[in-house]
Structure 1
């Protein structure tokens, strides 16, 4: 495809104003469809001359936003920053300009930049909901961007209020209800992944891949799919690790119980032997007393080292047997 200035001008002449989502959607589609001309620099040179040769009036905003879409697509943050700085005095109050600044701040990956990005996203929504402004209050792109900012915030483990997180879910579901776009499902999937909702997150990513027309975005979607599988695997391993730890702790407790019991048995046998030799008359009575005391002491030891009440019934039964043996010893010689 070759560059045709008249065709490009005709496209811009037919554009609606930036008060509705059609404006940004048409420009995005234009960039995607003519990406080879952008790579060659022909359209970029044409648009740049348009911006440089004018006083950057509101009517030239479509040229500005076309470069925004291309630089964001190429992740050219340096060029995007220059574009923002050079045009803020002209378009600084327009929602799409604030959206552009917010997107740039997200790319800086610091807590302060994320806070700025989220604040700008909130400002965009406030502007389009102001009845004095001529903007579509249901402009889905701004709501999706807010939800994306919240997702990015949480992905960095920064704290955020439950109200903001809940609002992000409400906004992105509102976007999906209005327009069936792949990027909206990706934003929802990111929020679900943060909440460890792996099944829904995986399903929404696969659906986004299926309906995405811009195939250049598919690698990013596949990366997110791998993150879901990775985090799911890590969670499963952590769960199994906790189970193994619990089993080891239970076994350690059982070993201590056995050691204590058999130590008591050995001591009991030695004492019993001495008693039987020295005092055969009362040997049986003392043996019963010591055996009962051993059982009661063992039960008390079990209660002390147990972290739960799984063996409470056996402890009670053992204690009762010990008491019965002590009581029987009082009547043994009678």
Structure 2
């Protein structure tokens, strides 16, 4: 497919939906994925006005799966009606390459896998795993991404787990008069960790226009059937979450719904990235969002039982509140 400049760049528009479809789940590492789920889920998301899709070459066949689903819907939903976010720099568990040559190659490969001739947003992926000079200096990721911004990319951004690392790089870029467009933080605004809320104002001050909050379920930790085996949470936090999930269930509530709605209520966020495995999860996410919006407008009130259970959950999680796991881990 020939690569051409993103037609939206000149319009300087970024009107992303409040929910972003997290396609990392398509790799099957969080839970089993039915063969037809990706195409059905993508269609349902577009029908319900979710207009942003997040993926990465690190997510196995994720880009190919998402690209095929979107391409098969091209007669119903034009490419200009949605945004595609992908990533560069990380390609495997310990496979990182932030060189300018690999960054450009990666963007072009992603375009082909996603069956598009431009990308709306490209993240430098998991920046805490590499040296800062590999990210910000000549020959590294960000300088090359800014070059690509006038060719194939609408917005340049980066993601990582430690918030201090994200803030350090955004400050540096701001001082260089080349501010970062977007940052993506994950697992830092959820039931057991709300650190992101303390950083929003400073991110805005140093030129970050859009802040994305990913993983309100904390990478699958905050769900009834527990986290995937690879999850970095401590055994103590896992046990506390399991207690919280049981408490919610005893009161006819769902820990995942509570967690998602808690995250969606954070102001100052452009969009919340949620992994959506099947059409039912898409529909549920939209219902959760509408309920939060109705509460914010005063159209409905939060049930007292829900307020009480959330208070009790926060008491259970209090010993581990705002504790972040190490990234990268010591054994990386």
**TM bucket by the smaller chain?**
under 0.3
Structure (1 or 2) with the larger CA radius of gyration: 1
- TM-score norm. by structure 2 comes to 0.26
Q: Which has the higher strand share?
A: 2
More helix by proportion, 1 or 2?
1
- TM (norm. structure 1) is 0.25
